[in-house]
Amino acid sequence: MFDENEEDAMKLEHYLEIGAVTIEGVNDDGEMIFAIQDIAKEIAPELWQAHTEYVDAGLLHLYENGLMEVEYDENLEATLHLSKEGYKVAKELGLVEMDIREIPDN
């Protein structure tokens, strides 16, 4: 059978093929940066659920550790305020945009 890494690579390849995931660029360490597209809700609900749970857990971690404050307006729409350290942690978790370079054309 497949080991976990092979299975993950096959899943990623599938998600790329169907458009649920896109390649957004390359980070400073040369690692690919992927983005989960909104269409994943419909065509890859298991991926969307895992993504949503990851984001929710990350935001809760930031809040519980005093790295983020939440402010609500009169319509109860939330605005998130990250501390400098909170931004660093959020970036490491992939919750905010990273500094990316374009993928070179080959």
Q: What is the 8-class DSSP label of residue 67?
A: S
- Establish if 73 belongs to a structural domain: yes
Q: Is residue 101 part of a domain?
A: no
Residue 27 — pLDDT band, cuts 50, 70, 90?
confident
Instruction: List the one residue out of 25, 55, 57, 21 whose CA is nearest residue 39.
Output: 21
Structurally, the chain folds into a number of domains equal to 1
Neighbours of 68 (CB within 10 A): 22
Query: Does some domain include residue 42?
Result: yes
pTM score, two decimals?
Answer: 0.75
Q: Note whether residue 56 is domain-resident.
A: yes
| 103, part of any domain | no
Q: 79 in a domain, yes or no?
A: yes
In a domain, 78, yes or no: yes
Closest alpha carbon to 66 in 78, 51, 84, 92: 84
Instruction: Collect all residues with Cβ–Cβ distance below 8 Å to 68 and sequence separation of at least 6.
Output: 59, 62, 80, 81, 82, 83, 86, 90
Weakest-pLDDT range from 3-12, 41-50, 52-61:
3-12
Q: In this predicted structure, what is the pLDDT of residue 84?
A: 93
Q: Which domain holds residue 29?
A: 4-93
Q: What's the confidence (pLDDT) of residue 105?
A: 46
Q: What is the pLDDT of residues 67-91, one digit of tens each?
A: 999 999 999 999 999 999 999 999 8
Determine the Cα–Cα distance for residues 20 and 59; give it in Å rounded to an integer.
23
> Does residue 99 lie within any of the structural domains?
no
If one compares 4 and 64, the residue with the highest pLDDT of the two is 64
Indicate whether 65 pLDDT > 90.
yes
